[in-house]
Amino acid sequence: MTKQIWLNLPVKNIAKAKDFFWKIGFSFNEQHDTPSSTCMVVGEENFVVMLFEESLFEGFSQNKITDTKLSSEILISIDAESKEEVDELAKKVQEAGGTVFAAPAESQGWMYGFGFADLDGHRWNVLFMDFSKLS
């Protein structure tokens, strides 16, 4: 039934959002770029995250955008390959202008990760999971 799934996120400024995500290591399929949207690809399976300027997003969602300073509608999680990758990404996020809201730390004895907000306040969670320590 389903061929592919992708995530659509509203952003205030496409150029700034694209620059932020590029600086922290994401890539883009620029064939799908328009002046008000861009196609970010994530991971080995090239999961698609479409970034749309807010007015365009509101038009096709037919709904108001959540004020990310006051609330969250989603937490986007990314799998990391190592603790070192988690630490490196946390540093890149800060250097690119994002906000680390949860510093890198151990969790539940088998996970290591951190949380950040991008330039538009969307919250992301980056985790290294050591399943050999899962009890």
How much is the pLDDT for 1? Answer: 65
Record the pTM. Answer: 0.91
Q: CA angle, 49 as apex, 80 and 37 as ends, to 5°?
A: 140
How much is the pLDDT for 2? Answer: 74
| Residue 127 · residue 77 · CB < 8 Å | yes
**pLDDT tens digits, 95-128:** 999 999 999 999 999 999 999 999 999 999 999 9
Kindly state the DSSP code that residue 1 receives in the 8-state scheme: -
Q: How far is CA 76 from the centre of its chain?
A: 6
Spans of the chain, pLDDT less than 70: 1
Complete domains list, the chain, with CATH: 1-65 (3.10.180.10), 72-135 (3.10.180.10)
